[in-house]
Structure 1
Amino acid sequence: MELGLIGQAAGMFAVTNVDDIVLLALFFGQAAGQRGGAVRVVAGQYLGFAGILAASIVGALGAGLLPDAVIPYLGLLPLLLGLRAAWQAWRSRQGVDQETVTAGTGPTVPAVAAVTFANGGDNIGVYVPVFATAGTGGLVVFAVVFLVLVAVWCAAGRFFATRPIIARGLSRWGHVVLPVVLIGIGLVILVEGGAFGF
């Protein structure tokens, strides 16, 4: 069961942070050739993600105050976020946000952290209901796996920064994958929580 939970945490992290690989690749590309640039990107990513994780845990603890019958309906949040993301992707047909980072000096720790946190609003919406139902042990597993995978994501972002074709592919399809995953997570929470009576 522990391995299953680790796999679930890894899968959830991967699908909710697919767009971060594109942003990290862009940040690492801007930091190329600058002393300490890569360290600033990694530090900013950890700082921003720590904010997302803290907000999610606080939200999940607050959700613990809700009656048990209400908790499965928290799956409506990622479902609605997924529908919103699908609507925005359909309307714009352009999945890449243009983020402003200080030009010439490369990305700073606060800039990377701010973009990471702002880009993680959907993550919080997904993590809160999952964390609320995971229990204390599960919450610890999720947090540890997520923090380890931030390092993996940073390594992948740096790798992709040197391969523009891959970064363009993620940029092109990330806006399609994200809504599908969010809708799927929302439906899983609703079904597994018994919201539909089965």
Structure 2
Amino acid sequence: MLGQYLGFAAILAVAVAAAFGATFLPGSAIPYLGLLPLALGIKAAWQAWKDHRSGKDEEQAQAEEGGPSPLEVAAVTFANGGDNIGVYVPVFATAGVGGMIVYAVVFLVLVAVWCFVGRYFATRPVIAEALARWGHILLPLVLIAIGLLILVEGGAFGL
């Protein structure tokens, strides 16, 4: 869990800094930041489609006995957090400082929930199989939905 928190704190720090940088953009440009999660979702959907067509095996090798160190977990969490940063920046930029604080606190609380739920799912073979089978479809759908929501709510393209 320590590694998850370290990695996620780094993701939040980068996203908050980028969101503050986005405040220098004209207000009319902010909704177009929704194009980033939309593009990430389309990319993830394309990759899932290519992997499905090629029959690529998505199972990972077993973790070494004893597990990774907290810094290794933090590094992997941060490295895999590019899509999170891409989603958080436009959300934070449109939420303002108060909204950013609420989001950050909620996200940090939910990291613990996520760790406990992940542990529960990982120990339930039926659930783990279902997530392994459908997870690659859910991620693109969520990213695309977030991108579209930001675009529509911000009034981009006259929506």
TM-score calculated relative to the size of structure 1: 0.74
Matched residues, number: 156
> Which residue number corresponds to residue 124 of structure 1?
85
Please show how residues 180-195 of structure 1 align to structure 2 within 5 Å: 180-195=141-156
TM-score w.r.t. length of structure 2: 0.91
Assess if the C-alpha contact under 8 Å between 1:95 and 1:172 holds in 2: no
Deviating 4+ runs (over 3 angstroms)? 94-101
SS at 2:135's partner residue? Answer: helix
Does structure 1 residue 62 correspond to structure 2 residue 25?
A: no
Instruction: State whether structure 2 residue 109 is matched by structure 1 residue 138.
Output: no
TM alignment of 1:82-121, pairs within 5 A: 82-93=41-52, 94=56, 96=58, 98=60, 103-121=64-82
Cα offset, 1:96, TM superposition: 3.6
- Name the SS of the counterpart of 2:102 in structure 1: helix
Shift of 1:97: 6.7
Unmatched tracts of structure 2, length 5 or more: none
Instruction: Give aligned-pair identity as a percent.
Output: 67
C-alpha RMSD of the superposition: 1.7
Residue number in structure 2 paired with 1:19 = none
1:90–1:135 distance in 2 versus 1, CA, 3 Å: same
Residue 112 of structure 2: aligned partner:
151
Contact in 2 for aligned 1:79/1:182 (Cα 8 Å): yes
Worse overlay, 106-115 or 136-145: 106-115
CA contact (8 A) 1:95 1:174 kept: no
**Structure 1 position 140, deviation (Å):** 0.6
Structure-2 change in CA distance of 1:95 and 1:124 (3 Å): farther
Q: 1:95 to 1:112 in 2, by over 3 A?
A: farther
Q: Which residue of 2 aligns with 1:80?
A: 39
